[in-house]
């Protein structure tokens, strides 16, 4: 969907993006991860031409972006930024309607889409449409920012630290919500963040950058279990244990889990097999009963299985060496 080839951006003497080549596949979430100044935000802004390329090419949906007017290009992509960047002199309704107005939609169409989008994001239209941004909480502002990006149903959404300005609690809950928004699931998303946990929670693939260069581009599991170099290892080491549990899905543990014992499993919590191991452990632990077990949904090939937290941990121990190989 998005193709970057040998993309380079220079600011005077500073090489901000150095020969970056990557593809973002349709419907996936690619996270650009790195410390500040690593070039991740610049890379993102090159895609919607908020910055202009020094060298290289970028294609979006098969068209070279240099061959389109920047405004036209941008109107076809959602753009969400830190702190939402809502217009303080516009109501929520007017804020959301900015892009449709630029696209000269009819008033009826704008109204209809506004209500649809707000419902998707679980914002009550009656309550919020006529409010001004300063009357909203940070989390609400961020939702409106997202609604504004989604209203014209663009195939591509670019996000620059979208949850960066929120407090940690709101941040985690809105992140979780974000993952579950149906309207977003099939969009091609590029997300910039410096937050490792956020990157691994939201990303399908991660592009870890440093000094304008890609250090590693791969799936979340590849980064955790097969870091490409010293830098990647060091970057992840503080959160390594949590990340391992995060990136593993329950079905990967199947071979190492005991067979189901129906007697134990009667009051077990049922999980889908694509659930992350970390999520499962957190939920089990939260119940407070050490012997609480879970049941893995059966699929066509395997019967249901059940496990306690201890079982899961043991299974992870057994699985990981094979992933590192």
CB of 87 to another protein, least distance (A): 6
Residue (102 or 298) nearer to another protein, CB: 102
User: Mapping DSSP to helix (H, G, I), strand (E, B) and coil, where does residue 2 land?
Assistant: strand
DSSP secondary structure string for all residues of 23-59: EE-TT-EEEEE-STTSSHHHHHHHHTTSS--SEEEEE
CB of 143 to another protein, least distance (A): 15
Compute the C-alpha angle 216/314/176, nearest 5°.
55
Q: Which helix (H) or strand (E) holds 192?
A: strand 188-193
CB of 159 to another protein, least distance (A): 11
Residue (84 or 265) nearer to another protein, CB: 84
CB of 92 to another protein, least distance (A): 12
CA dist., res. 148 & res. 51, Å (int): 22
Instruction: Measure CA of the first residue to CA of the last residue in the chain; give whole Å.
Output: 31
Residue (158 or 236) nearer to another protein, CB: 158
Residue (109 or 234) nearer to another protein, CB: 109
CB of 158 to another protein, least distance (A): 8
Provide the binding-site residues for another protein, judged by CB under 8 A. Answer: 48, 50, 70-75, 79, 81-89, 91, 98-99, 102, 132, 145, 148, 158
Residue (85 or 258) nearer to another protein, CB: 85
CB of 142 to another protein, least distance (A): 12
Residue (100 or 227) nearer to another protein, CB: 100
Q: How many C-beta neighbours within 10 Å does residue 239 have?
A: 14
Q: Going by C-beta distance under 8 Å and a sequence separation of 6 or more, which residues neighbour residue 307?
A: 253, 257, 258, 293, 294, 296, 315
Written as six digits, the tokens of 9 are 């951006």
Residues 238/167/122/117 CA torsion (nearest 10 deg): -80
CB of 77 to another protein, least distance (A): 8
Q: Which helix (H) or strand (E) holds 314?
A: helix 309-324
Residue (62 or 88) nearer to another protein, CB: 88
């Amino acid at each position: 969907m998005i193709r970057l080839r040998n993309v380079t951006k220079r600011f005077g003497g500073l090489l901000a993006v150095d020969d970056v080549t990557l593809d973002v596949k349709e419907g996936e979430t690619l996270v650009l991860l790195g410390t500040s100044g690593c070039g991740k935000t610049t890379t993102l802004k090159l895609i919607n031409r908020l910055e202009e390329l020094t060298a290289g090419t970028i294609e979006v949906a098969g068209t070279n972006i240099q061959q389109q007017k920047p405004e036209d290009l941008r109107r076809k992509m959602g753009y969400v930024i830190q702190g939402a960047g809502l217009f303080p002199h516009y109501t929520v309704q007017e804020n959301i309607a900015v892009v449709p107005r630029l696209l000269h939609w009819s008033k009826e169409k704008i109204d209809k889409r506004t209500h649809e989008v707000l419902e998707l994001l679980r914002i009550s239209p009656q309550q919020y449409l006529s409010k001004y941004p300063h009357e909203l909480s940070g989390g609400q502002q961020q939702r409106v920012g997202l609604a504004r990006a989604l209203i014209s149903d663009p195939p591509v959404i670019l996000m620059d630290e979208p949850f960066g300005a929120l407090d940690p609690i709101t941040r985690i809950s809105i992140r979780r919500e974000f993952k579950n928004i149906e309207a977003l699931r099939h969009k091609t998303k590029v997300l910039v963040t410096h937050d490792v946990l956020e990157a691994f929670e939201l990303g399908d693939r991660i592009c870890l950058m440093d000094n304008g260069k890609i250090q590693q581009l791969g799936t979340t599991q590849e980064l955790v279990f097969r870091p490409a170099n010293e830098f990647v290892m060091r970057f992840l080491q503080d959160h390594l244990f949590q990340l391992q549990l995060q990136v593993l899905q329950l079905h990967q543990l199947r071979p190492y889990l005991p067979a189901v014992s129906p007697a134990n499993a009667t009051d077990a919590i049922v999980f889908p097999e694509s659930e992350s191991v970390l999520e499962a452990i957190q939920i089990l632990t939260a119940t407070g009963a050490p012997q609480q077990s879970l049941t893995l949904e059966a699929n066509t090939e395997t019967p249901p299985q059940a496990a306690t937290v201890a079982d899961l941990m043991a299974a992870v121990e057994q699985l990981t060496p094979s992933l590192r190989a």
